[in-house]
A = this chain, B = another copy of it.
C-alpha cells in the first residue's frame, strides 16, 4: 500500500489520536521531500554514522514527482532493489562482485539471454588514445558513440568524421573496439573473476561501451534478440558520502540497482503467455473434517502441523462441507488434505488425501 495519502483518507479514522497524523504540509516550516532513490540515503547514512566499511542490500520504495504512465512503467511510487559495497578497497574487486551478483540474480530468475555492459572511463580513454583521438575530442566522441544504441555504426562513423573532424582511420579503429564482444576487456581482476565464475553471458557483456553508468540490458529470447530495455544499472559514486560528511571525508562506493518491478512484469507476461497456472499459496496441507462439530479437532491437528513446520491451512468455518474443503484445495493448488472424522478420532489416525489423484491413506 502507498505511503503517502490524501489527508482526508486518514482523517476521521483515529478519533483523538488524529492529531498525531504527520501532515507534511505545515510541519513547523521544515521543507521535507520524499526519497528519490536509495543511494543518496545510503551515502547520508554512512556519513552520519561514520561508517567506512559496509556491504548491504536494501529493497524499499522511492518517490518521483512525475506524471505517472502505468503502461510505460512510470510510477510516482515504486520499489528499488539495491546492493552496495562501501569502503577503501583494491580497485575493481568490489565492482566485480557487483557484476557477479547481477549475473546470479538475472540467471536465477531465468529471464533468458541478457547482456551486461561494463564501462570504465579509463578504458574508453585508453581506447581513444590508442586510436589516435586527440584528448580535446574525448567527450564529443563519447557522446557520438552513445548513439550506437540507436544508429548503425556507419552513421555514427560519418558523424565522427564529418561533424567532429576525426580522421577516417581513427574512426575505423574505434569501430573495431566498440564492436568487440569478448572475454578480454583488459580489466584483470574483473575478467578473471568472471572467467572463474563461468563462461557465457557475463563475459560476452564485458564490452567497451560508452555509457558511464551503463544499464544492464535484457534481451528477449529468439533468433534476433529484441531488447526489452534496461533491468539494472549501477556504477561507482566515490564522492557522494563526502558531500554529507562535515569534514568531507570520502568513502568509495559501488552499487547496483535492480529494476525489480520491470523484471516482475517481464516474468508475468511470460507466465501469461505460457498459460501456466501459478500457485498463489505455499500451503502444503488443508486440514479438513467430514462431519459437524469437529472444529476443535481441526484446530488441534493444524496446531500440531504448524509446530512441525508444515504449512497448513483450514477453512475459517465451524462446519464446512467436505466437498467445499476439497474444492478449495483444487482452486488454490493445495496438494494434500488431512481429514479427521469421528472414526479417525476414535482410531487416533488421520486420513491423508492426495487432492489430484484422490488416493487416500490412513496414518
Q: Is the CB of A34 within 8 A of B65?
A: no
List residues 190-244 of chain A with CB under 8 A from any CB of chain B. 192-193, 196-198, 240, 243-244
How far is A33 from B61 in the complex, measured between Cα atoms in Å? 16
Q: Is the CB of B38 within 8 A of A1?
A: yes
In chain B, what residue has the closest Cβ to A61?
A: B3
A20 adjacent to chain B (CB < 8 Å): yes
What does the 1/0 interface line of A1-26 toward B look like (CB < 8 Å)? 11111111110011001011111110
CB of A303, distance to nearest CB on chain B (Å): 4
How far is A138 from B8 in the complex, measured between Cα atoms in Å? 34
Q: Is the CB of A10 within 8 A of B33?
A: yes
Contacts of A38 in B (CB 8 A): 1
List residues 27-59 of chain A with CB under 8 A from any CB of chain B. 27, 30-36, 38, 40-42, 44-45, 58
Number of copies: 2
A162 adjacent to chain B (CB < 8 Å): no
A330 adjacent to chain B (CB < 8 Å): no
Contacts of A6 in B (CB 8 A): 30-33
Q: Is the CB of A196 within 8 A of B22?
A: no
Q: Is the CB of A65 within 8 A of B25?
A: no
Q: Is the CB of B93 within 8 A of A316?
A: yes
Q: Is the CB of A33 within 8 A of B41?
A: no
A300 adjacent to chain B (CB < 8 Å): yes
Q: Is the CB of B299 within 8 A of A196?
A: yes
Contacts of A240 in B (CB 8 A): 13
The verdict on A303 contacting B36 (CB below 8 Å), with A13-B243, A243-B13 known, is: no
The verdict on A22 contacting B34 (CB below 8 Å), with A9-B44, A40-B9, A296-B192 known, is: yes
Q: Is the CB of B1 within 8 A of A44?
A: yes
* 10 A-B residue pairings within 8 Å (CB atoms): A3-B61, A6-B33, A13-B40, A13-B243, A22-B65, A23-B33, A94-B316, A96-B299, A97-B316, A196-B300
Q: Which residues of A contact B (CB under 8 A)?
A: 1-10, 13-14, 17, 19-25, 27, 30-36, 38, 40-42, 44-45, 58, 60-61, 63-66, 76, 85, 87, 89-90, 93-94, 96-97, 100, 104, 188-189, 192-193, 196-198, 240, 243-244, 295-296, 299-300, 303, 306-307, 316-318
